A and B are shown apart, each in its own frame.
Chain A
Amino acid sequence: MNRLTHLPTLRIRPESRRDIHYRGKAHPAAAGDTIATALYANGVRIFGRSLKYHRPRGLYSLDGECSNTTMSVDGVPNVRTETVPAKAGMTVKAQNVVGSAERDLLGFMDALSFAMPAGFYYKTLHKPAPVWPLAINRIRKQAGLGAIAPGFKITGVFDELYPRADVCVVGGGPAGMCAALASAEAGLRVILLEARPWLGGFFDYRAAAHPGGGLLYERARELADQVEKAPTIRVFTSAAMTGAYHDNLITAVQQGGDDDPFDSRYLQIRAGAMVAATGCIERPLLFENNEKPGVMQVGCAHRLARTWGLMPGEKIAFSVGHDLGLEAALDLAELGGRVVCVADIREDGQDPALAAALADRRIPYLKGWVAAEAQGRPTLKRAIFSTITGTVQKEFSCDVLVASAGFTPVTGPLDTAGARLAYDNHTGFFLPTDLPPKTHAGGRIMGLQDPLSIETSGRLAGLRAAVDCGKRVDDAVRESETALASQPGPERGSKLVTAPVKGKKTFICFDEDATLKNVRQAMAQGFDVPELIKRFTAAGTGPGQGGIPGHNLPLFVAQTTASPDKHPRPTTVRAPLVPPLMAEYAGTNHDMSKRTPVHDSQAAAGKMERIAVWNRARVFSKSKGARAEIENVRTNVGMLDASTLGKFRIFGPDAVKALQRVYAGDMTKIPSNRMKYAAMCNDDGCLLDDGVIVKQGENDFYFTASTGRAGQTVEWFRFHTKYENWDFHLVNLTDAYGVINLAGPNARKVLEKVADADVSNDAFPFMGYREFTVNKTILVRAMRLGFVGELSYEFHVPSSWMQALWDILAEAGAEFGIQNFGLEAQNTLRMEKGHVIIGSESEQRTNLLDLGLGFLWDRNKPEAKTVGAVALRQTEDQKGRLKLVGFKMTEPADRPPKDGSPIVDDRIRGYVCTARYSHTLDMPVGMALVEDELTPEGTRLAIFEDGCEGNLIHGEIVPMPFYDPDGKRMRM
């Protein structure tokens, strides 16, 4: 197609050519083309097929208001080709077709529309019952626009940005630009969002005169130039707002252009105030076959010519309800288009100059007429026009029918911001009546159509936003209010929704193939308000986000006598206002996790696993159940990276009071050079955390917390001391220290080789705490613990020295065959010893006493001053609680049950916490929480495993700990 290349309003650069691929052919596109305009320029008129009836669909709005032109682009389904720029090499495919868009083998579905009335999904094929499961699969397979391959991986750069602004103006038309300039003049930072790739709005493509002098598009460029030069205004073009949230958090998605380093970018803007200047879209005219390819909106036809240099057709008919339609008809005729007729819904009220100009051009002008039917297959060949009463008809041959019932404001931004809308009988608009704080609106969204009024209204909104941001611009506000009052106010709008038709194929929602007939069917079944009709017919629930039916549906319902609701109310609009890709929400998606100081050496030797925020080594050996690692610890010596433990310093005159408050034990008795094992409970007495505390000075302690609780520990202390005026301080040292657990009967031999201190059993006994250097360089805090049930040390070492210490110990232990062990081995080792892990052997109901850890509770402490003590006292003799027990497997006797398996008889009596095959004991053993009647030794447990099909397995209660019950090995 030849382009109109001489127009000053063009936004394409034909000299910059790129090819896109469609139906196996390369199609040239110009820089500035969208995919849709490029295809249109190459003669494509049918872009895809509709959801239910497989009707052909074509270009309609150019702003992605419906799914007519959603296509698959480079494997991504449902791309709104009207808003996505054409880039070199793109491969574009039509959607919802079997065959091609032009010849769809499922096109016959259109003839079966009688079988798919409103709500058919809820009623049809439900009886007899066996039919529905078959039908539902078929329907689901058939329905839905676009398909994505299961293994599809999206490519591209999906960026994100979190800018701040004083004022965020949504809409880069004349009102938005004036608002932005007004706020910026007040010294504020302004962000201006515009969905199209350039500023200008509905001035941008129009060559009509501006009342202030010059032409509208010239004024648009003048304002855009001022905006670009304003140092405090940031402009984001191709950025469609997706939602407004609390406290003026505004989100948008921006398409990347040729020169941008991203394909798409998620914007999350925090602003002091918001101005909505999103203008209007056209309210679709409803008539038979109103979505046939060739039928398009006024702005679509006009912008095709003026912005992209594409005459929309050879013979163009108009059916409009506003002066912009008349202006477009005249302008297309001026540009060489053949306008065969202009039907105007209005009997009067037109701009007489426009009507006279149509007469001058001998264009048939039919007042009080409307398009009644579009005809032709598969694209438009002719249009039937009638009077709005339907009494007289005329036929015009045409390949494009430009149709528009009127305007309707784009209220999505205000809706999501929480504004209330009310129907205005003068304009026929839903206008904002109750704006949320720090939210303003200006321009056409307020019903204004006069260019000067639009600009003044925008300026006023920008100034009011400035006042919200603390700027003293009251005089300027008053001036703008006065100016606006003297300028033309909102114009009377067209009220007509539908031509006089039966509505069988009059589509109120293109996306969902919902017709007027469907709406009437819904109303006949008692769905009498738009919100219910919307759900029953699906009108407005497609990817166009209600763009096409948004305001027509409530207006149509209100005009229908069957409805008791005579006062139209729009249906609720929700974010996202445009359909973003999941990849756009994901953004750059940095997977942030923590690494221990010896991560690299651990990862090189073992298999890593993500546990909460940390990366940890699960296993190092290939033996089943980490058997080699376990046996090495039991018989020799192993090393575990335990750096993820929480570590804290607490100090200050009231530090002991704080410890007393949150720990169940008596924290006043922590001897020097010794550790105290202690537990924290919540108010219900349930175990929350455990760890050790050492005293490192007067009112100065170092303590550990479990990995999972480390992030909450400081806040836990603060929460439970918030009403005390205690003087204590906490320092989170979790990341400051790495931790090595050296365990096994040969552990001391390894340590003796490197420690600059006496580490004999007498000098450094079980539960002892020492500080010494290793290799006369590395200062370590050493704790003699026994979590895995062997002679064992924990070395807390400054993180930067951690790898060095690890290497030193590995070298010193080489002669003994020291090996790493991971979490899997540790889990079995500690289970054999009967040591619990919070979350594995406990859940939110499990208290200290249930776990047999009552010795950690000091009953002599004042209960009211110890978190959880009251509950512990109350539950001490409570029956029916789940208690922790040990069991061995009997049937089968060679494998453990799965963790989490329920323990049952005629009901669930408990569950398995952790169970493993113990190579040390040569039998499968585990720990379980069971009702107290099941706790006596020798009780037989029936265990239900997932997938056992009723074949229960059995175990028997045995004493714990399973291994070294006297604890001699920890004290050796």
Chain B
Amino acid sequence: MNMLQRQSPVRFSARPVKTEVRDGWTVVLEYAAQGDGLHLIDLSHRAKWDLQDGDLSRFDIAGTPIPSAPNTCTLKNGTAVCRRNRTQALIWHLAGDPPELPEDPALTDVTEASLLAALTGPNIYDVMEKICSLDLKDPAKTTPRLIQGPALHVPCLIMDLGRMGDRDVVLIACSRGYGRDMTEGLLHAGAEWNMAPAGETAFTRLFDI
């Protein structure tokens, strides 16, 4: 038996040139010819928690309280915390080593439940406009923010991180089972801007800029 490996819901046809094995995941850090244009990055392996409680104000995640208003987010130390509704928040560990899941029944590890992908670079809002009717181009928006709605007719959580370093960044999450079709749909929508799969480093480096 070979070493046991975990699998992402995403399959890119691009050739990985740099990989890293992390907790059973083979994480692609860089793909061949990924360039520095419009990127689609698979972050499904990143730890994701669901937090539900009648009193979310008692929680402090990554040194930040849960935002008080629905659909608002904080992004600190590589961890995004978003308020979904009165009793629910989501926590995505986007960079660095993920912490252990605290021993609190309010938290559920939902890393495996969803596809998580990042769109970075120019034209990401143009791509999103082709796949969903959600208003990501609203000039009055403040980022980071959470938008809950359909993309490619699939229920999604879309986190608009706004400008990070030299790139615009949008994260999109949906049920894991849709992972393949969602990423193929995104690449198809982004083809006119030469969207390419990129490795995780293309995303995590943005936290260092």
Using a CB–CB cutoff of 8 Å, the interface residues on chain A facing chain B are: 159-164, 189, 232, 261, 268, 270, 588, 590-597, 599-600, 613-614, 649, 651-652, 697, 699-700, 727, 729, 731-737, 775, 777-778, 798-804, 807-808, 811
Contacts and interface: CB of A to CB of B under 8 A. Distances in A.
Contact of A778 (B4, B45, B108, B111): B4
B112 A799 contact: yes
Contact of A593 (B133, B139, B181): B181
Contact of B129 (A163, A595, A600): A163
B133 to A, nearest CB: 4
A37 B138 CA distance: 41
B152 interface: yes
Contact of B181 (A592, A799, A807): A592
B170 to A, nearest CB: 15
Contacts of B8: 800
B113 interface: yes
A785 B71 CA distance: 41
Given A591-B181, A799-B9, A775 B1 contact: yes
Interface string B131-148: 111010111000000000
B184 A590 contact: yes
Given A162-B129, A804-B6, A592 B175 contact: no
Given A651-B105, A727-B54, A808-B1, A734 B24 contact: no
B177 A777 contact: no
Contacts, number: 126
Given A164-B135, A588-B130, 15 more contacts: A164-B133, A270-B133, A592-B152, A592-B178, A594-B177, A595-B179, A595-B181, A700-B105, A735-B114, A735-B176, A736-B176, A799-B112, A800-B112, A804-B4, A808-B4
A590 B110 contact: no
The A interface, classified by DSSP as helix, strand, loop or mixed, is mixed
The 5 closest A-B pairs by CB, nearest first: A594-B177, A800-B6, A729-B52, A162-B133, A736-B113
B179 to A, nearest CB: 7
Contacts of A733: 108, 110, 113
B112 A798 contact: yes
Interface stretch (B57-65, B75-83, B185-193): B185-193
Interface string B1-43: 1001111110100000000000011000000000000000000
Contacts of A164: 133, 135, 137-138
A613 B177 contact: yes
B113 A732 contact: yes
A736 B179 CA distance: 12
B91 interface: no
A105 to B, nearest CB: 47
A235 to B, nearest CB: 15
Nearest to A614: B177
Given A729-B53, A736-B110, A597 B133 contact: no
Interface string B142-185: 00000000001110000000000000000000011111111011
16 contacts: A164-B133, A270-B133, A588-B130, A588-B185, A588-B189, A592-B153, A613-B177, A652-B52, A652-B54, A733-B110, A735-B175, A736-B110, A798-B112, A799-B112, A801-B24, A807-B1
A163 B127 CA distance: 11
A906 B82 CA distance: 64
A597 B113 contact: no
A737 B88 CA distance: 21
B68 interface: no
Contact of A592 (B45, B50, B182, B191): B182
A810 to B, nearest CB: 11
A591 B154 CA distance: 11
B8 to A, nearest CB: 7
Contacts of B154: 592
A88 B36 CA distance: 35
A590 B154 CA distance: 11
A595 B88 CA distance: 27
A804 B112 CA distance: 14
Contacts of B176: 597, 735-736, 799
Contacts of B138: 164
A597 B4 contact: no
A596 B137 CA distance: 34
B87 interface: yes
A697 B107 CA distance: 14
Contact of B87 (A163, A697, A729, A804): A729
Given A592-B152, A735-B176, A775 B112 contact: no
Contacts of A811: 1
Contact of A261 (B131, B178, B192): B192
Nearest to A270: B133
Contact of A777 (B4, B113, B152, B179): B4
A700 B106 CA distance: 10
A727 B110 CA distance: 21
A649 B24 contact: no
A221 to B, nearest CB: 28
B188 A590 contact: yes
A731 B87 CA distance: 12
A162 B108 contact: no
A162 B132 CA distance: 6
Chain A CB within 10 A, most for which of B1, B4, B88: B4
A162 B130 contact: yes
A308 to B, nearest CB: 30
Contact of B185 (A189, A590, A595, A727): A590
A596 B177 contact: yes
A487 to B, nearest CB: 34
B184 to A, nearest CB: 7
Nearest to B154: A592
A800 B177 contact: no
A591 B50 CA distance: 29
Nearest to A159: B130
Nearest to B51: A729
Contacts of A737: 112
B133 A731 contact: no
Nearest to A643: B177
B153 A800 contact: no
A590 B188 CA distance: 9
B141 to A, nearest CB: 11
B195 to A, nearest CB: 12
A639 B113 CA distance: 23
A750 to B, nearest CB: 14
A731 B175 contact: no
Contact of A590 (B25, B105, B137, B181): B181
A640 B102 CA distance: 34
A700 B7 CA distance: 28
A861 B77 CA distance: 51
Nearest to A733: B113
Contact of A161 (B1, B9, B129, B177): B129
Contacts of B139: 189, 232
Given A161-B129, A727-B54, A731-B110, A592 B105 contact: no
Given A775-B1, A800-B112, A595 B180 contact: yes
B188 A731 contact: no
Contacts of B131: 162
B58 to A, nearest CB: 14
A438 to B, nearest CB: 17
Given A162-B129, A597-B9, A800 B25 contact: yes
Contacts of A777: 4, 24
B113 to A, nearest CB: 4
A697 B105 CA distance: 9
B101 to A, nearest CB: 13
B55 to A, nearest CB: 10
A934 B181 CA distance: 49
Contacts of A270: 133, 135
Contacts of A699: 105
Contacts of A614: 177
Contacts of B153: 590, 592
Contacts of B175: 594, 734-735
A232 B202 CA distance: 31
